[in-house]
Each structure stands twice: as C-alpha cells, then as structure tokens.
Amino acid sequence: MEHFRRKTPEEILLSISKLHQGRLKVYIGSVSGSGKTYHMLREGQSLKTQGIDVVISAVSTMQRPETIEQIGDLERVPSIHWWKDGIEKKDLDIDALIKRNPEVVIVDGLAHRNREDAPLKTRLEDIQRLIRHGMSVITTINVYELEDVRSVVQKLTKIEVVETVPTDTLSLADEVVLIDVTPETMLNRVAEGKLLSLDDMGIFKRGNLAILRELTLRLVAEGVNDSLEKYREEWGLIGPSGAGERILVSTQYHWNGSIYMRRGQQIAKRLNGELLIVTFVNKDKELTREAAVFKRSQLKLANRIGAEFTELPLCARRELPKVLVNYALTNNVTRILLGHSKQTWWQEFWHGSIVHDMLKRTRNVDIFIVADRAEHDGERILPTKVAKSEEEVDLFRRLSSQEMVQKIEQIKRGTFQVFIGSAPGVGKTFTMLREGNHLLKKGIDVCIGLLETHGRKETQAQINELEILPRKVIEYRGTHLDEMDTAGIIRRNPEVVLVDELAHTNVPGSQYKKRYEDVLEILAAGISVITTVNVQHLESLNDAVEQITGVRVRETIPDHILRLADEVQLIDVTPESLQQRMKDGKIYNVEKIHQALNNFFRTGNLIALRELALREIADDVDERLESWERNESLRGPWRRQEVIYVCLNKTQHAERLIRRGFRIAYRLKAIWYVTFVQLERTHNTTVMTEQLEALRKLTERLGGKFEILTTSKQKHIPMVLVSKANGYQATQMIIGQSKTRLWKEGWQGSIIKKILRATRHLDVLVVADFEPLN
C-alpha cells in the first residue's frame, strides 16, 4: 500500500515546506447571494472562539443584516478602495496584512481583478502570496467564475462573465465546501429586495438558477471523486468505489463499434458517469483498409464525446475476459458494455462464452449487453428531441372530478422543504432551526414538532424562541415511549412545523410505522414542513451505501418522498471538518468517538458518501429542471420510451435488483415491471410468503408493478421470463449474476446463457454480486 512506502528525500522536503505554508479553504456557490460570505464569517467566529487569530479584509456583506451580524467583533484590516464604471471595488492591502501577520485571513471574491497599478494583477495571486507567508485564507467564489465553466454557462444561460480564475484553482485548495441553495430560496430573496443589485447579468431566472446549481453540484462531485480515487489508490483499494459511475465500452474496429460507443455515451451521460473505450488490436499485424477507416472514425467520435480511448494487445480468445475484467477493476469501472454474442449454443460450448467467463470473475462490476437493433429500428441511440409529454398534450383537456379533487388537494397541501446531508453531524438540524428562526422573525407561526439535538450545544442554542410542541407518550409492553404527536401538531395548526430525522421508524403502537407518513398527513392538513434526512436513508441507494461502508442502513424512505419536496437543499461538509467535529465531541458522546472514526466515519467512507450526495442532488435538480423548462436536461435526452423488466427467481439479492430497476427506470423516465418466477411444486413456507410480500411492497413503494409466475420445470424459467418481457415490449432486461455451481449448470443449463441467447433483440443488464469495499 502506498501509505507504507518510504518517502523520498524530495517528498520529505516538500512536506516540510508545506508546514510553513498556510491553508486555503474555498466556499463555492452557484450565484452571488447564496450565503457563502455568511458561512465564511460564521466559521471565522468559530475559529476565534478557539483562540485562533482571525482578521477580515475586502469582505462584501451586500448590507444584508444576517451577514453583517456574523462579522461581530472580528478584526478588520482596511482594504484599498477604488472605483470602476461607477462601482466601488476593494483590493487587499497585502503589505498591511503581512505586517499584521494573522493566522487566518477571511476575504471575499477569489476571482476579483485588482486595479491597474496594483503590484499583483489578481486576488488569486494576492492569496497565494499570503499562503506562502504562512497565513491561511478562507475565501469565496461562484461556479461561473471558473474559466472552463464560463463557456458552458454562456452557452446554457447566455450569461456573460468577465472576471474568472483558472478551473484548476480549486485543486490548489485544501478544502472546497459547497453552499447549496435552491432556486426557490434565491427567488424569495430577490422578492424581498435583497439581491436586486446583483441581477445585472440576468442570473435570477428560475431556469438559470437551476442550471447553475446543477453545474456547481457536479463540479464539486468531480473534485470529491478525484480525492476519493487518490485515497483509494494510497490504500491499495481497487475496483469501483460505489459512489460514481464509470462506463467501459468494449468495441472493435468494425461497423457496429460506433453504435456501442454512442450507446455507452448515452448511458454515461444519463448516469452522470465517465466513459472509457477499449479495443483489442494485434500489434504485429497491420490493420486492413476497412479497419483503419473504422479506427479513424472511432477515434474522432471518442474525442467528440470526451471518452478515453485505449488499445490493448490482442490475446487468445479465452484470455479476453480476464484481461477485460482486470482492466475494468484497475480503472474503477462500474459497468462494462459490449455487444450480444452471435455464437450458437455449440460454439459457446466449444469456445466458451466471453460474457459468462467475465461474470465468473467480476464483483461490483455490472455487465451491460447491447441489443443490435440497427437493422430494425435504425441507430436508436443517436440524440434526438424528446417527444412531448402527456402533460403537454393534455393541457387543454377538461379535468375529471377525481383529477379536480387531486389538484385541489395539491393546492391546499403545505410546502415541503428537506435539508439533506451525506452523514450525521453535517449541520442539517442546525440549518433547519436557523431557517425556522428566520421565518419566525418574518412573523410566520413556526413550531418544533420533533427535534433531536443529540446533546449538541450549538444545535441546542439555535432553538431560541421557537415553540417546542410536547411529544405523545405511548405505552408499549409496560414501557412508556415518546413519539411525535401528529394529531397534536394538526390541532395546534402552525403555519410551519420543524420535524427532524425523516427516515425515523416510529415506536410500536404509533398510528404510522414511519415518520415520513406522519409528515405526509401534516402536509395534507395544509401545514408546511421543514425536515432533515441523510442520503444513505434513500431506499434506492441502500445497496450503494452498504457497498461503500459495509453497513446496511435499516431505516429508509422511498425516493418519491424526496421528489414530493418543493425544495431539497444539500448541507455540504468536507470529511476533514466532519471528522474534526467528531473529535471535538460535537456529534457523538466521547465514548463513541473512537469507534465511529474507525468505522462509519472513516475518511474513505465520508468522501464516497459526500460524492454520492452531491451526484444525487444534482440529478434531482436536473429532473426538476426538465419539468420546469419542458426541455432536454444537461444529461441529454433518452431517445425512445423505455420499458424496464426486472427478473427474479430467488429472494437472495432480489431487493438489490428491484432497487437497481427503479433507479434505471427513474433516470430513463420509464415504466418498469418486476417478475418473480417459482416452480409449481415449490411449497411456500411462512418465511417465503413474507419475503415475497416484502418484495411486492418494495416494488410498489418505488412505483413498479410486481407479479409472481409459476412454471413446472427449472429449465423453463428463462423462456417464461423472456416471453413475459416480450409481452411487456421491454427494451431492457435486468437479471442478477448467477451463483449456480458448475456441475448443476451443466445438468440444468445456465439461466443467464439461455436468456442472453433468447434476448438478442433487447438490452440486458447483468447486475454483479458486490462486496463491501471498505
């Protein structure tokens, strides 16, 4: 492992030189007014209470009272004021700061350009000079002020940006923290007159705000992924992390190579993943003229779609699966994409099946087999306009009485806001209480319905004047337990109620099993709800979280609950800061700290969960953007109506396949079905019946349709599944990796092999077994 390797003299000298330098922390947001300066100043106050020497300079409060309040008694080193086009500018007085020599300097506007006669041209250069002098710097930047992002922003929003910094500036920072804010919150601030002076560029349009927010989330997620890969490399961990997607397309210099590449591009875009292309070439043999033409076109296509293209030396056919799987594991691939086999049963028996041999070797890597429909449907994977939605077509249709009742219920429903984080202790409850106090000051009736401070003093202090409603006491087996009093909240009828820990399972004897069900009743009563949840509690991410952390999260919420929210806001914290909070006793009691830091709160876990949260909220923003704009998303369109068909014949890993089916169907806006096939002679025990009922409930909770089919013989299972898939006009089939022993497979035949031979007109995703990676 890399961390055990002896350091070279050069590395030792570099480490010593870094000891004399300050740290750089950057707060990044999607737009001005998102709260970066507020959080930066709040951190300055926190550092000062710890005895650290902090000063501020060139900080722009925009005269917002809550931001000015955060300055408090922080010492200010005067900046140099000057004017440009009637606008006041502030440059850092570097000489004064060096003379004062504080431990930390807080300064706004990393992309700021200094006056013409300044010693250094940009604030970035000023900050780098301060860092070399041993001072740490905390600063702010907007996503559109990064050079490479500027052109994307201009293309998508028509916004012109003047002052920028190189995109790799963020890689210089020791910490990058995202201050997430929803378009709704920003538009409310505009309506309150707080941000009108900032709208010179036309940023404050709902669509523009959503695009900028998504770009910010994805940019930070990419940075987190880089740090995760570096961490895993240092610890000698191979294979996918479980947090991000990386698609590997195996192709040839053949006419269908570009089809597979396009399909891979489409999947990678929709899943927000990276794309790698690999092909096998005989280095000792010159390419034919036809193959050379295909090579040129594929290289050109790879460059255009931003894919990494690699040639591997051609090896014996039976060695191909081993080489391909090893390459995938080395490059942290999550999904290998290749074409259906054209071999007959006898050829597969004699020569072996590449796909089957790959499945024997893979863990945590899915195999996606692409249907070749070019002869029948044309090149269906090429991007095209998305067809009009039913909602668009039905705009002029008169509503039925039932639809009218549903619309009225939606109008009467309270507003639903969710603060989501990557792990406990990121500050969700703190932020929820702060939001409640902010609303209270505006004259809105706010109450606390359920609060869990876990003894955290900072969180407790945020209660201030908020009214805490009493809990309901429930007697269970001679013990008195307390729970949120939903009926009491509805009787009290506040305008807004704060409810902590949305994924909580209620105590036995409660009206509802889960707290989110209580929240739905409160919303239906016309009361707005602000709540908190961690990303690991989303039902469809349950398997990914177990893969990352080795921990199966038992308390979950259906994904559609998050989609019901009017606003979903991410509370972002770096792993270093979160671990420091843990060490300071701000998350768990002292006796639990050591255990937590060596288990769930390990650095690799926290980095991966942070990336997972960033990508999940970015996808949520993208879905909402599509519905607002009725336009294609940043992830690109999906050409045709997809139908996803999930096949089950065992209860083991069945939940995982169902969750995977849901996530794929949700990304593709597809309908999806789940079929469980069992033998007619099978006698369902009570346990089996309960397991099947649990699978049905999970499918229906996630929005799918579940059914049970029977067949007389084991060997008929593949044909039953294929026949049903054809009946549903499925476009993609999802099956699990086989665990059948070799002798049994030889006797009964391989279900996967039979399905693949019968579904060459379909895309087939074989979901790999997985092992926890921590």
pLDDT confidence band for 134 (50 / 70 / 90) = very high
The reported pLDDT for the residue numbered 351 is: 56
The token pair that represents 595 in the structure block = 């255990």
How many CB atoms lie under 10 A from the CB of residue 282? 10
What's the burial of 82, exposed, middle or buried (CB within 10 Å: 0-12/13-18/19+)? Answer: middle
Contact predicate 761/651, CB 8 Å: no
With 50 as the cut, is the pLDDT of residue 375 above it? no
- pLDDT per position as a tens digit, 26-48: 999 999 989 999 999 999 999 99
Handedness of CA 660, 664, 666, 672 (dihedral sign): negative
Pairing status of strand 175-178 against strand 24-29: parallel
Contact predicate 518/486, CB 8 Å: yes
The reported pLDDT for the residue numbered 15 is: 67
DSSP assignment of 234-259 = HTT--S--SSS-EEEEEE-SSTTHHH
**Residue 514 gets which letter from DSSP?**
B
> Among all chains, which residue has been given the structure tokens 């699990």?
736
> DSSP 3-state assignment of 367?
strand
Mean of pLDDT values over 410-417: 89
Contact predicate 374/382, CB 8 Å: no
- pLDDT per position as a tens digit, 150-202: 888 888 888 888 899 998 899 999 999 999 999 999 988 888 777 655 555 57
Mean of pLDDT values over 122-128: 97
With 70 as the cut, is the pLDDT of residue 568 above it? yes
Exposure of 390 in the CB half-sphere (CA atoms within 13 A): 2
The token pair that represents 691 in the structure block = 């397991």
**Residue 160 gets which letter from DSSP?**
-
With 90 as the cut, is the pLDDT of residue 310 above it? yes
Q: How far apart are CA 554 and CA 558, in angstroms?
A: 13
What's the burial of 226, exposed, middle or buried (CB within 10 Å: 0-12/13-18/19+)? Answer: middle
Contact predicate 108/60, CB 8 Å: yes
- pLDDT per position as a tens digit, 472-520: 999 887 788 899 999 999 999 999 999 999 999 999 989 999 999 999 9
The token pair that represents 375 in the structure block = 């002869």
How many CB atoms lie under 10 A from the CB of residue 49? 9
How many CB atoms lie under 10 A from the CB of residue 53? 13
> DSSP 3-state assignment of 729?
coil
pLDDT confidence band for 343 (50 / 70 / 90) = low
- pLDDT per position as a tens digit, 594-609: 888 888 899 989 998 9
Q: How far apart are CA 170 and CA 110, in angstroms?
A: 10
Helix (H), strand (E) at residue 481: strand 479-483
Mean of pLDDT values over 732-756: 69
DSSP assignment of 108-119 = --TT-B--TTSS
pLDDT confidence band for 671 (50 / 70 / 90) = very high
The token pair that represents 471 in the structure block = 């809990």
The reported pLDDT for the residue numbered 546 is: 87
Q: How far apart are CA 127 and CA 109, in angstroms?
A: 11
The reported pLDDT for the residue numbered 385 is: 38
Largest Cα separation within the chain, whole Å, is 89
The reported pLDDT for the residue numbered 389 is: 44
Higher pLDDT, 203 or 534: 534
Weakest-pLDDT range from 201-205, 332-336, 652-656: 201-205
With 70 as the cut, is the pLDDT of residue 535 above it? yes
pLDDT confidence band for 17 (50 / 70 / 90) = low
Mean of pLDDT values over 233-258: 76
Average pLDDT value over all residues in the chain: 85
**Residue 73 gets which letter from DSSP?**
T
With 70 as the cut, is the pLDDT of residue 746 above it? no
In DSSP terms, 385 is beta-bridged to none
pLDDT confidence band for 321 (50 / 70 / 90) = confident
Weakest-pLDDT range from 400-409, 530-539, 715-724: 400-409
Contacts of 508 (CB under 8 A, 6+ apart): 474, 476, 481
With 80 as the cut, is the pLDDT of residue 236 above it? no
Q: How far apart are CA 446 and CA 441, in angstroms?
A: 10
Q: How far apart are CA 343 and CA 203, in angstroms?
A: 56
pLDDT confidence band for 379 (50 / 70 / 90) = very low
